[in-house]
Homo-oligomer: A and B are copies of this chain.
Amino acid sequence: MKEKGFKSLVTLEEARDKFFSSFDTVEKTTTLPLTKAGGRITAEEILAPRPAPHYRRAAMDGFAVVASDTFGASQSSPNRIRVGEKVEPGVATPVHTGGLVPEEADGVLKIEETKKQAKKLDVYSSVAPGDNVSPIGEDVKRGDTLLEKGNEINPAHLGLLRSLGVEEVPVAEKPVITVIPTGEELVSPGEEPGPGQTIQSNGIMIAEYARSCGGSPVEDEVLSDQPDDLKKALSQKVEGSDAIVFTGGSSVGRRDRIVEVLEKEGEVLVHGVAIQPGKPLGLAAVEEVPVIALPGYPVATLAGAYFFLKPLIAQMTGWQAREKTTTVQVAKKIHSPLGKLSLVRVTVTEGKAYPLRVSGSGVLSSVTRSDGFVLVPRDSEGLAAGKETELHYWR
């Protein structure tokens, strides 16, 4: 009755390389109006269809002038010109910041440097040709890159695109992520769990995680551990899914049958990764659809999603995700096992990271109480107090 172990653990880097290189970067794209594009990922580089400004723009409130009319002017010895409808030598026209500088003008004189009396204008300083005039294309030239491919479209992007007349954007489709929770001991939400039973909760967690990473999740009904049920679900879901995530049953115990099923139905690329939590994790390809078999312990489930599902969605959408981390100082020694990359939940107070006392990877409240996590390298037994490290966030 001794459990068989994993054939061998591979490192996180090896597992990622093997998994992500096994699939073409499928980027399904669609075109959305700007009003629906917020938060989506650009599927192509977006170029400026016109320059900004698209006309010679006044940078100050004042008067459009022929610059040479102002040469030599000073506070003590002002030049006198006229204000008129049309700029010409000796005649200036009022302009507002942002307004059009008439063709005949080659400078804008600040209003503070003038005094106007009826049609007469005293000029108290000189402007050089080009002063206070933004030439066409000063901000953005026609054909400039407005957004790179793989950008997450934010409020400023929308403003920029709209101001340049771009009203439609090619974006990546959200990949359909089918989430299938498994486990004999699980009861459905709304049911009362008996002793030894647990309410199935990984499904909603991973579905929401996939959504927050830009996927379109579909949460399936909970399945038993029976290979026939698993096989049936797999063959039904491969069609119509861009990726499939199982939770539970990914280890090597008597009731861990998913990897066995995946071996028959497709190709298992990795089983067992040198990370903690999250070790009993399987990665497979079934009919060219990526399949991630996550362990059932909630913290391990989430860690596996962080290491594999988030980058998978990024690969599928072309998302150039830039992870935000914060530098923190280890407040007290963090212990971790040699041989595995450890993800250690911490709370942070005044820039200092305190490891959470946790009794195992089953305790999701250790995640919800944490401010994020720090990583301890595989070849290290921990992080010393005082060491600076990066705080990672779950998404």
Contacts and interface: CB of A to CB of B under 8 A. Distances in A.
Interface in A329-382: 359-360, 362-365, 367-368, 371
Interface string A142-160: 0010110000001111111
B111 A1 contact: yes
A204 B55 CA distance: 23
A387 interface: no
Interface stretch (A7-15, A188-196, A228-236): A188-196
Interface string A189-212: 110110110111110111011011
A100 interface: yes
A311 to B, nearest CB: 16
Interface stretch (A237-245, A271-279, A319-327): A319-327
Interface in A117-165: 134, 138-140, 144, 146-147, 154-160, 162-165
Contacts of A156: 205, 298, 302, 364, 367-368, 394
A214 to B, nearest CB: 13
Contacts of A59: 360
A112 interface: yes
Contacts of A199: 162-165
B212 A139 contact: no
Contact of A163 (B195, B201, B302, B371): B201
A196 B58 CA distance: 9
A38 B212 contact: yes
A288 interface: no
Contact of A189 (B162, B185, B255): B162
A159 B157 CA distance: 34
A116 interface: yes
A189 B161 CA distance: 11
A35 B205 CA distance: 10
